[in-house]
Amino acid sequence: MVNSLTTTNEQPFAVSYLIKTLGFSPEAALSASKYVHFETPEKADIVVSFFKNHGFSQTQVTNLVRRLPSVLISDPDKTLLPKIDFFSSKGIPSPDLAKLFSGNPALLKTSLEKQIIPSFDFLKNLLQSEAKTIEAMKRFTGMLNLLKCNVETLVAPNINTLRENGVPESNIVTLLQYQTRAFLVNPVRFREIVEEVKEMGFNPSRLKFAVAVFALRAMSKSTWERKVDVYKKWGLSENDIFLAFGKHPWCMMASEEKIMRVMDLLVNKMGMDSSLFIKRPGLVSLSLEKRLIPRGFVFQGLLSKGLVKKDFNIYPLFECPERTFVQKYIMPHKGEASEFTYGVPIWNALLVQMATRKSSPKCMDFFCYTEEKKKNGVSESNIITLFQRQPNAFNINLVRFRGIVEEVKESGFNPLRMKFALAVFTLRAMSKSTWERKVNVYKKWGWHQWCMMASEDKIMRLSLLIKNPELVNFSLEKRLIPRGLVFQVLLSKGLVKKDFKMHKLFKCPEKTFLQKFVMPHKEEASELSKLYKEKLASSK
């Protein structure tokens, strides 16, 4: 006989409760049940109701329980309410309280008297006001970690070490706000780190001193040494690396892989000397995907056209804001290098292919930068448009890509027209077997490049519209069916003829459709507007 307090497959009652009441997946519920055990729903229901009564949404309650399952067997009055009342007394409104606790559920199992209140008072004294403390906790959520530790034995000694070494109070507060974890370390180890930073020649009165402390705190000695070894592979000495670290401590915060990729781009792909890193170590902190690769791509293009010299000062090109970059390095050359004026998104598309190494940029070369371009005759504007809208079209083996282009040419498409590029994307997007299945469906109706991207089921449902096959891309629920219904009503009342050009009804914008096909008939077909709106509403 199966126990009534378990599910039919003999799982604990808690599993069933988490699934039915809080929307857990079976796997998540089973995992959470290892940390919470109850055989009746009453106590858990009280906890869930408690949170909802204090402004928590269903999603916030679920997320909170997922991260802290044991909260379901808490005593709300003894354990939960005092903490909520404490933060509420500091002027934090209910919506913010819900965000605070659902994002940091561990606070609910932290002692209010022994940890939260003493830590809050410590921060209030450091930041010099209660209001500033609340604002800092909202803005810098990492500071909430300080409420879960003993600040007197862990954080206070580390702050005193910085003070003793001449670090200004403002820099201490900045580091505490932005990098709270830097202080959550054994005071003996923290003092050692501060001494190391001093020995490197950092000035304690500068913010870089505090940043360097964080950088060394954030990694073990072995990790530091591995990163030093990575830089050494590019011909840099330890003195070079320490010099760069002194200029920009964040250069040691990049992963070993990121360091390798940045140096490879600068040295191997752009032909720069590795000493560039010593002068501008901040380059390692810039995004490869959003900054270095796309701007490097532009630099190489300008260089190849003789629009910049090889000894060109490349630092500003990488470091300037996006608007300045476009105004200074793109717009002045829009005549000589028109391919750079189509917008930054193309570079982002290209760099994703290059940076992730998922495909060879030779696909782009095939279209744009080799003799094949002359053979195929595809305009750069069409290539760039396709690249902006469908970058995955180029994420394919070059041999297969070349084969697709040949197939499109053999189909009679004009390489000078945008349809040629669209047809390449269409063939790229599906296997040959999928193509053949769709061809079999379309044989009765004719075809259009983009119509091959629809599902086979949708093709069949749109069989009445094959004279304008691009209609296959419109939404059935939001356009074709509601407007088709309007047409049927108008036809039944003799308000349009049977040979009416139906494609105009489907293609026009919503405002034009209402003005042309609905409003003129409000007397003869008064229900038309209501019927159309109801059909649209039912599709949402």
Q: What average pLDDT does the segment 206-215 reach?
A: 90
Residue 140 has pLDDT above 80, yes or no: yes
Predicted pLDDT at 337: 58
Q: Which residue has the higher pLDDT, 480 or 282?
A: 282
Q: What average pLDDT does the segment 167-175 reach?
A: 92
Average per-residue pLDDT for the chain:
80
**pLDDT bucket at 454, cuts 50 / 70 / 90:** low
What CATH number should be reported for the domain whose range is 1-109?
A: 1.25.70.10
CA distance 271 to 485: 64
**pLDDT bucket at 360, cuts 50 / 70 / 90:** very low
Q: What is the DSSP letter of 482?
A: H
Name the one residue in this structure whose structure tokens are 């008297």. Answer: 113
Question: What are the residue ranges spanned by the domains of the chain?
Answer: 1-109, 299-438, 474-538
Q: What average pLDDT does the segment 202-215 reach?
A: 91
**pLDDT bucket at 459, cuts 50 / 70 / 90:** low
The sign of the dihedral angle between the CA atoms of 106, 98, 102, 33 is positive
**pLDDT bucket at 458, cuts 50 / 70 / 90:** low
Predicted pLDDT at 335: 66
Q: Which residue has the higher pLDDT, 465 or 253?
A: 253
Predicted pLDDT at 473: 72
Instruction: Report the C-alpha dihedral over residues 404, 405, 410, 414, rounded to 10 degrees.
Output: 140
Predicted pLDDT at 412: 80
Helical ranges in 112-248 per DSSP H: 117-127, 130-139, 155-164, 169-178, 187-199, 207-217, 221-232, 238-247
Measured in whole angstroms, the distance separating CA 468 from the mean position of its chain's CA atoms is 38
Residue 183 has pLDDT above 60, yes or no: yes
CA distance 152 to 267: 49
Contact between residue 302 and residue 329 where contact means Cβ atoms under 8 Å apart: yes
Residue 57 has pLDDT above 70, yes or no: yes
CA distance 295 to 344: 9
Q: What average pLDDT does the segment 36-43 reach?
A: 88
Query: pLDDT tens-digit profile of 70-107?
Result: 999 999 999 999 999 999 999 888 888 999 998 899 99
Element containing residue 419 per DSSP (H, E)? helix 418-428
CA distance 126 to 73: 36
> Any long-range contacts for 534-539 (C-beta under 8 Å, 24+ apart)?
535/481, 535/482, 535/485, 536/478, 536/482, 539/475, 539/477, 539/478, 539/481, 539/482
**pLDDT bucket at 344, cuts 50 / 70 / 90:** very low
CA distance 233 to 198: 27
CA distance 482 to 425: 31
Tokens describing residue 279: 């002068």
Contact between residue 363 and residue 396 where contact means Cβ atoms under 8 Å apart: yes
Q: What average pLDDT does the segment 409-422 reach?
A: 81
Query: pLDDT tens-digit profile of 240-274?
Result: 998 898 888 889 999 999 999 999 988 988 888 89
Residue 308 has pLDDT above 70, yes or no: yes
CA distance 534 to 488: 16
Predicted pLDDT at 301: 79
Residue 7 has pLDDT above 50, yes or no: no
Average the pLDDT over each of 111-125, 343-357, 479-493 and give the range with the smallest value: 343-357
Q: What average pLDDT does the segment 166-175 reach?
A: 92
Query: pLDDT tens-digit profile of 526-536?
Result: 677 776 776 66
Predicted pLDDT at 144: 87
